[in-house]
Structure 1
Amino acid sequence: MSAVAQSANHKLEQALAHYDIGELIDFEPAKPEPDNHSYHAHTRQGEREFRVTVTFVEPPALPTGAYVSLLDRCAAAGLPVAPILRTKKGLPYATTSSLPAFVVPRLSGRITYNPTERQIRALGRFAARFHLATASAEYLMPDHPGTVSWLRGQEQSSRGLMPFACADMFVEAARSVRSLLRRHDVNELPSGAIHTRLARANALFNEAGLTGVLNLDQAAQGFLIYDLAAAANDWCNDARGALNPERTLWLLQGYHAIRPLTHQEVWFFSGFALYAALNAWVAQLSQVSTAREPFKNPDELEAAVRHHLGHTFYIDHRLLA
């Protein structure tokens, strides 16, 4: 066993000792990144076996209290989200080496790379149910990091991450999004807890439907329409970065059936598609620059930003019913 694996094994044994789920049998990293803090663990207690996911939370991850409250509320609403397991003392997390460790049941299902109409509509319904279930003042959610000031800073740093022509396009897109976020009517759009990354990589399906949504640790306070725009960019786009009208309508109709979208949200959907694409592009470029393996090719995200910058995606609100 390598030194890294030995360290992970020690941390996991310390954390799992706080739970009534037996001893650690084996484990594997939940993600391939070198700084991974999440593990799939297999434990045994007598004749019973458990398969759980253990996550060690470090800044800038979601604050412990807000994360626990978020998952508890989702579980209470019957959403396909893994609930937080309590320790032997009834606590929502165990502390190991000064880091909180959350343990949740491992969800079944698999990622889909070519989603069907049924799956896209299911994702839309989940987003609506998630927004309704978490609409509570008790959540001290951090603001979405893609603020106006953050975008201004990215304009400066973009020069070192991409070719000159791409950097110019990035600056133009960032300024367009900054202008969007400064509008008074935009700031009056419905807001609350948002997932921020409703991508295919974070949704599990089986033959019966949606079985799990992952990575809520990046949830934040933001505009609800952002979640739909981010999802559409990943679930409904084509090779040119353009949104497929039919697939996008499936997503929005699924959402609208649970939580009706306002006319203003539909009107600004196109602008938020650019906003979400820009954020995703920066995130993937950052992964490439740190030698991580991105889930999506940054060139595809660049194409999405370029397309959204040059085209407005119009949706007739009457088609959502």
Structure 2
Amino acid sequence: MAVFTPVNLDDVSQWIKQFPLGKALALKGIASGIENSNFFLSTEHGEYVLTIFENLSFEQLPFYLNLMRHLAERGVLVPAPVANERGELIVALHGKPASIVSKLEGSSQMAPQPVHCAAVGAMLAKMHLAASDFPLQQPNLRGLDWWNETTPQVLPFLSDDNAHLLRAEMHFQDAFAGCDTYRALQRGPVHADLFRNNVMFDGERLTGFFDFYFAGCDTWLFDVAVTVNDWCVDLASGVLDTGRVRAMLDAYHAVRPFTAAEQTAWQPMLRAAALRFWLSRLYDLHLPREAEMLTPHDPAHFERILRERIATPAPGLF
């Protein structure tokens, strides 16, 4: 993620004494992303990731950290949060909430093949089922309410054509969210940001999902749509690769079968997933926050995906 809050090894050397990790040996900022300040942290006990949360509050964070712990205890491959000597997963650093989690092995697969998409689909279904009894509740903070709040803020920056697209899609999604099909969709905690750079592989072996800090309670189908829109597309055009889509959906369906309502909602949900990231990228580009290593993503990528999802039906869920 971007580095908004500068931290050096001396800062961490004192702070880390409350954790059972030994001495801090090295600290390196992670430049990708745009929400939190993340650092690779080497200690006497191993390799970890330190996150300083720039937007989420002390009150909101227990949902994310405890969800990760809940999933890890049920065999889902996710980073394990590290508690301090008082059992706390969230501790102030430079006056902001911070946490330490284990570092996953492997690297992100940025050119996925069907075998990678199948592994992600199966683990995503396992994650949804494992989280179904998670006791904490928190809405998807980048869901429909946020879309409606953000749309008028970004509209002044858009061309007439894109402004028309955004208004029309918001009208469509508001109506869709009020229909019986949408209300029938299965729900629970979702990752909501499971892009290629948030999953680790060692060769063809999936080693974990990470960066759960957009997670919230939403429809499981939205999570699938977000994932398909990143893992299964041609990045230049936004067109879906049928082989990768089929691999991901079939693997998911084998673990947690899709419902008839989800099949009906699939096309609108792919559009919703594209809209969510088009909006957030527009917001980050035109209304940026200061950051030491901030690189905003190109909104045009998800504009293309949204237009493609409107124009071309995707392969069905089953």
- TM norm structure 2: 0.88
8 Å contact kept, 2:48–2:103: yes
What is aligned with 2:301? 300
Aligned ranges 1:30-49 → 2 under 5 Å: 30-32=30-32, 36-44=36-44, 49=45
- Partner residue of 1:209? 205
Aligned residues: 308
- Alignment correspondent of 2:256: 259
SS in 1 for 2:166: helix
For residues 135 and 158 of structure 1, the distance between their equivalents in structure 2, rounded to whole angstroms, comes to 35
Please tell me whether residue 100 in structure 1 is matched to residue 97 in structure 2: yes
CA contact (8 A) 2:27 2:41 kept: yes
- Please list, as runs of the form range in 1=range in 2, the aligned pairs for 1:36-75 lying within 5 A after superposition: 36-44=36-44, 49-60=45-56, 63-75=60-72
**Equivalent residues of 2:36, 2:52 under 8 A apart:** no
Which SS does the other structure have where 1:84 is aligned? Answer: coil
1:151–1:56: structure 2 CA closer, same or farther, 3 Å change rule? closer
Report matched runs for 1:1-321 at 5 Å. Answer: 7-32=7-32, 36-44=36-44, 49-60=45-56, 63-136=60-133, 138-147=135-144, 149-238=145-234, 239-289=236-286, 290=288, 292-295=294-297, 297-315=298-316, 317=318
Change (3 A) 1:223 1:144: farther
In structure 1, what is the Cα distance between the partners aligned to 2:6 and 2:154?
Answer: 38
Residue 10 of structure 1 and its aligned partner are, at CA, apart by: 4.7
Contact 1:124 1:252 (8 Å CA) reproduced: yes
The structure showing larger relative contact order (alpha-carbon pairs under 8 Å, at least 6 residues apart) is 2
Residue identity opposite 1:29 in structure 2: G
1:103: how far off? 1.1
1:278-318 deviation line (CA, Å, top 9, x unaligned):
111112222323284235x322211111122233335163x
Contact 2:116 2:204 in 1 (8 A): no
Letter in 2 for 1:304: I
Identity %: 22
Give the counterpart letter for 1:186 in structure 2.
Y
TM-score calculated relative to the size of structure 1: 0.88
Distance 1:226 1:303 in 2: 19
Residues 181 and 6 from structure 1, CA distance in 2 versus in 1: closer, same or farther, beyond 3 angstroms?
closer
* Whole-angstrom CA distance in 1 between matches of 2:212 and 2:6: 28
8 Å Cα contact 1:204/1:211 also seen in 2: yes
CA contact (8 A) 1:173 1:309 kept: no
